[in-house]
Amino acid sequence: MDVNLFWSYDSRMNLYQDSGYMMDLYRSSMARAKSLGYKINFYGDKNAIGYFSRIVDEFYDTSDEIFGVVDDLKLHIHSQQGLECVTIDGDLILEERLQFPNSDSVHVYFDFPETKKDILKEENNIYNGYGDLKRIFEKYSAKDSFPLFNYDNDFACNTGIIKFNNQETKDLFLSEFKKIQTYFTHSVEPSENPGFQMRQIKFILAQYYYGCLIKNLSVPTSFLSGINRYEHFYGNKKFETRTKYLVYKILLESGL
């Protein structure tokens, strides 16, 4: 399957304190992919674009766009590109070219499932906010506006990688995300106290809602982490010593 990889970063979202290291992490992700034969496509604002001028093959300037939650930018990319588009996180480093199994039957691919057996456990709410998301959306009776929303869905879809393989499913997922994102930013967020809780929901809203859509609509879905060789340094993993060692090893080997 021929695909095009797209990275994205908007410096205005100010997601990380150590932005210099994060730029290096992104560059190492791109450098590894380029060594595997991929063209490097990048969506970002003017400030972000400047950091990647030596590695990116094609830039798309998002300086005139406004993004309300973290996955806004990724899903904006999918709205602008065809089914060959794959969005990939900058903290995901490939070890080989990506494989997409069962392409005749799968409608959408994600990185990996986050389940009640692991990441969605209530005790992990303090780190990722899934419990807060479910309680806040129930507080605002979100299901009245979004019948496919589930106040206690048993899995979410990590969006470290997203590829749509069916246009009808893609259109539905983009439309539903835009509606629930608008609902959150206009009807929920302004009524809640700002802080860590709201910040975490911005990271996981698409992941959780897409899990709801898949379960309620029985969307044929495949997760790539178990059948591909790559490392996704999500959460605090990206700041571990071994991650930093790998990042700067790749940059050194790439002459960056």
pLDDT the model gives residue 235: 86
Same structural domain for residues 14 and 47?
A: yes
Domain CATH code at residue 41: 3.90.550
Q: Which residues pair with 113 in a beta bridge?
A: 157
- Assess if residue 236 is contained within a domain: yes
Entry pTM: 0.95
- Assess if residue 87 is contained within a domain: yes
Domain that holds residue 200: 107-156+166-219
Residue % of the chain over a pLDDT of 90: 82
pLDDT at position 15 over 90 = no
Domain count along the chain:
2
Distance separating alpha carbons of residues 106 and 166, to the nearest angstrom? 8
pLDDT at position 50 over 90 = no
Distance separating alpha carbons of residues 103 and 99, to the nearest angstrom? 10
- Assess if residue 248 is contained within a domain: yes
Same structural domain for residues 9 and 84?
A: yes
Nearest by Cα to 231 from 213, 249, 214, 215: 249
pLDDT the model gives residue 16: 65
CB 224, CB 100: distance < 8 Å? yes
Largest CA distance in the chain: 54
Same structural domain for residues 66 and 15?
A: yes
Token look-up 């904006």 returns 76
pLDDT the model gives residue 86: 98
Which pLDDT band holds residue 193 (cuts at 50, 70, 90)?
Answer: confident
CB 25, CB 58: distance < 8 Å? no
Same structural domain for residues 128 and 172?
A: yes
Nearest by Cα to 184 from 230, 135, 136, 250: 136
Same structural domain for residues 21 and 79?
A: yes
pLDDT at position 14 over 70 = no
Same structural domain for residues 93 and 31?
A: yes
pLDDT the model gives residue 12: 76
Same structural domain for residues 143 and 214?
A: yes
